[in-house]
Amino acid sequence: MSPARKVNARQADKPARAAKPATPEPEFRSGIVSLLGRPNVGKSTLVNSIVRSRVAITSPRPQTTRGRIFAIRTTPEHQIVFADTPGFHRATDVFGTAMVGVAKEESRGADVILYTVDVSEPPHQEDEDIVKFLGKHKLEAPVILVANKIDKVAPDVVNANLEQFKALFPFTSVFPVSAAIGSGLQQLENGIAEHLQPGPMLFPPDMITDQDPRIQAAEIVREKALMLTRQEVPHAIAVEIEEYREGKTPETWYMRGIIYVERESQKPIVVGKGGERLKKIGTLARQDLQASLGKKVFLELWVKVKEDWRQRRDVLRSWGFRV
């Protein structure tokens, strides 16, 4: 018998080993995660940091976010679709009421709710309003407390304020984070994923937002206008991109936008002396747009007055707001 046949014979005499059970592949999870919180607690910064892209505009001004923005984080294990919403506040006009309505509506349809707070301060009146909303509607989604801005104050202040927030509601879990410096964000993402249900991707894996490019461009212009105007003007600013198209060559893009204000007296503030402020707004916006599109951008901006637009349902509807 040949050596090879002897080996085969010995192997044949051995009892058959039981097949090793295959390790089950982890199920892919996906879902909608709504961010709820009062204005200026860092919801948009939090979303941008987790998604690793500037999907939502940010500024130190309250109520920067004015509509629902989907920001999508996809990994081999899960797809989290963040619904960044306007800050929950006590509205004083038609537009403010519409913004709060967006936040409420998105929360009702979410798979997970991230109640985001500024833990460098104790709870505000708006925080109590949010908790009342959560308690009244008895939403089925788990509510995670995201205690943001832990880097702003000493740990003992964070702990004292956090205890006050935790006393407001029976949260499913609590995650202290700093969206600005990235602290605690991976733990938060993992915690969110645990609450998602098994299911397919809701969006293609390379997609990071569902926002229309024209609206994204308008938001970038508005961000720069917020940054460069005085305290009394930002809430009165709206931006509409009227023209958005390829330029004279495939390597260029052309946009024409209108910055609206509510009063004639606000117009020179946005324009600036000799048009310098408007020019600066355009320069900064163009830099971001070129980085996003990978093309040279030609951007024309004009400033117009639309009296009391925040109180005018016809104007708000024409801009796509549900009022």
* pLDDT (tens place) for every residue of the chain, 323 residues total: 443 433 344 334 433 444 444 445 578 999 999 998 888 899 989 999 999 888 876 766 656 666 678 899 999 999 999 988 777 766 667 877 776 777 777 777 889 999 999 999 999 988 998 888 888 777 789 999 999 999 999 999 999 999 999 999 999 999 999 999 999 999 999 999 999 999 999 999 999 988 888 989 998 999 899 889 877 687 889 999 999 999 999 999 999 999 999 999 999 999 999 999 999 999 999 999 999 899 999 999 999 999 998 898 888 888 777 77
DSSP codes, 13-24: HSPPPPPPPPPP
Domain boundaries, the chain: 29-198, 213-318
In this structure, the dihedral spanned by the alpha carbons of residues 34, 36, 40 and 46, taken in order and rounded to 10 degrees, is -40
Alpha-helix runs per DSSP H in the chain: 3-13, 43-51, 94-108, 125-137, 155-166, 185-194, 213-228, 267-271, 276-293, 313-318
Task: Return the pLDDT at 40.
Answer: 85
What would the 3-class secondary structure string for 103-148 be? HHHHHHCCCEEEEEEECCCCCCHHHHHHHHHHHHHCCCCCEEEEEE
Task: Return the pLDDT at 227.
Answer: 87
Phi, psi of 227 (to 5 degrees): -65, -35
Spatial distance between the Cα atoms of 30 and 319, rounded to a whole number of angstroms: 31
Spatial distance between the Cα atoms of 204 and 128, rounded to a whole number of angstroms: 38
Place of tokens 């006590």: 90
Structural element, H or E, at residue 83: strand 78-84
What type of residue is 130? I
- Lookup: tokens for 152: 């702003």
Burial of residue 254 (number of CB atoms within 10 Å: 0-12, 13-18, 19+): middle
Which architecture, in CATH terms, is 29-198?
A: 3-Layer(aba) Sandwich (3.40)
From the list 37, 46, 34, the residue with the least C-alpha distance to 179 is 46
Structural element, H or E, at residue 31: strand 29-36
b/e sequence 158-169, b meaning 16+ C-beta within 10 Å = beebbeebeebb
CATH homologous superfamily for the domain 213-318: K homology (KH) domain (3.30.300.20)
CB atoms within 10 A of CB 138: 6
What type of residue is 138? K
